[in-house]
Amino acid sequence: MHYIAMDEFQKPYVHMKDPDRVEELVTQLIKDGKSKLLVVTDFDRTLSRFMDNEGRKVPTCHGVLDIATILPEEYRKKAIATREHYYPLEMSNTLSREEKYQLMTDWWTSAHELLVECNLNRGDIAEMVRDAKVILREHSNIMFEMLEYYGVPLLIFSAGIGDILLEAIKLENLHSYQNVQVISNFMEFNDEDKLVGFKGELIHTYNKHEAAVHHPEYFERHKKRDNIILLGDTLGDLSMVDGMPYTKHTLTIGFLNDHIEQNLEMYKENFDIVLVSDETMDLPIAVLKKIL
């Protein structure tokens, strides 16, 4: 059976440089089955949507803060100006990975320092996420439910803000699944619930391979699960598996949301499957159904 002949692979927004390689990978994942599988996904504009049905860009975790009216206007102006400077550089196809690494470090450090100055209260996070209307890709709930039912771990590996990510998942009633682990930048609050900093090592788009080293207990627990389905929306997301000590077969699926003409060929060079302006989880679900 040719699995890439499935309807979900025939959509016009599905791109593959090497269909034979994808066929081989999917066949191997199906052969090895659910006991060998681990799903690793980014959050911003991967699990969450890039655009809603009205054409509004869905905010990222940091974007939630940029538009939060509960925060000072001066903070929002500075945060938006910082994002408008760095985002085109992140999406550039002329900068090297090393150059982007340093730029993303500068961006995230600046964003977090700005936020700490705002005297944010822990209790404000839920309201900010509700107001920002962060929504997940269509049928994400089906993927969560399938993985939970079949006991397959789901690792959400995010360079965003973990507290905001968890609140967004909670609003979709997907926060109680026992198979879900989140590695992200988590806020640190004092005894008065005021933000005073961030816990642990900084995670940005281009250092996720380093972040994996700081969570050896998770990967040791799942060391027999060396078949990976990786979901991401930037080339930096591919590094999510680089720090994992146990990997054998990895199927990479990239969501190309923006700067499409500029980046399509580069995404096809790096991801096994590229989904262009697809706001659903339909193709990953189709693959998972065959494996599970």
How far apart are the C-alpha atoms of 48 and 258, rounded to whole Å? 14
280 neighbors 137 (Cβ within 8 angstroms): yes
How far apart are the C-alpha atoms of 14 and 6, rounded to whole Å? 12
Nearest of 29, 277, 47 to residue 144 by alpha carbon: 47
Please name the amino acid found at residue 290.
Answer: K
User: For the chain, give me the number of helices (H) and strands (E)?
Assistant: 11, 9
Segment 165-168 long-range contacts (CB within 8 Å, at least 24 positions apart): 165/43, 165/61, 167/125, 167/126, 167/129, 168/48, 168/61, 168/129, 168/134, 168/136
C-alpha dihedral sign at 17, 21, 26, 29: negative
Which positions are catalytic?
42, 44
How far apart are the C-alpha atoms of 153 and 143, rounded to whole Å? 11
